[in-house]
Amino acid sequence: MTASLLKGKTALVTGSTSGIGLGMARSLAAEGANIIFNGFGDTHEIAQLQSATAKEFGVQTAYHNADMSKASEIETLFAFAADRFGGIDVLVNNAGIQHVANVEDFPVDKWDAIIAINLTSAFHTTRLALPYMRKKNWGRIINLASAHGLVGSAGKSAYVAAKHGLVGLTKVTALETAQTGVTCNAICPGFVLTPLVQKQVDTRALKEGLTNDEAKKALLADKQPSGEFVTPEELGGLAVFLCSDAAKQVRGVAWNMDGGWVAQ
């Protein structure tokens, strides 16, 4: 059954063809929001995702394939959103990539891509979303940062820099909108078992001669005291709370949901 917290509102979730973004999109749709999907993947599968979500939750859905590393494509996406839905009420900056290597070995093109997709894209979407949100005096901007927006890990320089930057952008956006009905907050997940993390599990299994399950346990044992992955559905629940009236004074927060990672 569809709840109605976000009925009549439109949510753009960047990078929502997979993993956490997909979980976010489904949680917002379950509250009645129309969804603009974005991200890469098989055209047929994305069309299926779009129609299945529309049918399951009784909302309108659309898809735009903007590459979030390109400002001009993000502008086209916003023009599409304005044309199709009038504008965006809930913006979830979720698209992200990872690459693991020590600083001195870090490929320069990977550094540039991570900063562009994980950080700069949120600057562009935020600057484009705010005029519409201010006009309506309501909006929710939710930035998918990470436990790595709060603490570092060896091998993840670009990712940690981008996520700390995203937490900074969150605080400034929250301050600039503090006396409006627009809020901006960051969610900082620990490990979630998505394709992004499965790649790290695979690398670990190969390097240490572990099975898939052993490599998952080893990854969690390093960082996540609960020993369990966070799920996209749990993160979606937090996003829904941040969209609610009860959260209207939650501003500029970097809210970790990480099985205890940053409590250590």
**Residues assigned a catalytic role:** 159
Residue from 54, 97, 100, 151 in contact with ligand NAD (CB under 6 A): 97
Site string for ligand NAD, 22-61 (x = CB under 6 A): ----------------xxxx--------------------
**Part in contact with ligand NAD (CB under 6 A); list of ranges 52-60, 95-103, 169-177, 249-257:** 95-103
**Part in contact with ligand NAD (CB under 6 A); list of ranges 16-24, 42-50, 132-140, 178-186:** 16-24
| 94 forms part of the interface with ligand NAD (CB under 6 A) | yes
| Cα 225 to Cα 107: distance, rounded to the nearest angstrom | 32
Residue from 27, 34, 120, 146 in contact with ligand NAD (CB under 6 A): 146
Residue from 9, 12, 15, 133 in contact with ligand NAD (CB under 6 A): 15
First and final C-alpha spacing in the chain: 39
Cβ-in-10-Å burial (0-12, 13-18, 19+) of 94 comes to buried
Residue from 195, 207, 245, 263 in contact with ligand NAD (CB under 6 A): 195
Which DSSP string corresponds to 130-192? Answer: HHHHHHHT-EEEEEE--GGGTS--TTBHHHHHHHHHHHHHHHHHHHHTTTSSEEEEEEEE--B
| 100 forms part of the interface with ligand NAD (CB under 6 A) | no
Cβ-in-10-Å burial (0-12, 13-18, 19+) of 138 comes to middle
- Residue 153 CB, nearest approach to ligand NAD (Å): 11
Residue from 11, 12, 13, 20 in contact with ligand NAD (CB under 6 A): 20
Count CB neighbours of 206 within 10 A. 10
| 236 forms part of the interface with ligand NAD (CB under 6 A) | no
H runs (alpha helix) in the chain: 19-30, 43-57, 71-85, 108-115, 121-136, 157-176, 195-208, 212-223, 232-243
**Part in contact with ligand NAD (CB under 6 A); list of ranges 90-98, 130-138, 169-177, 239-247:** 90-98
251, 217 contact by CB (below 8 A): no
Residue from 69, 125, 126, 173 in contact with ligand NAD (CB under 6 A): 69
Count CB neighbours of 121 within 10 A. 27
Residues that bind ligand NAD (CB under 6 A): 14-21, 38-41, 67-69, 94-97, 117-118, 144, 146, 189, 191-192, 194-197
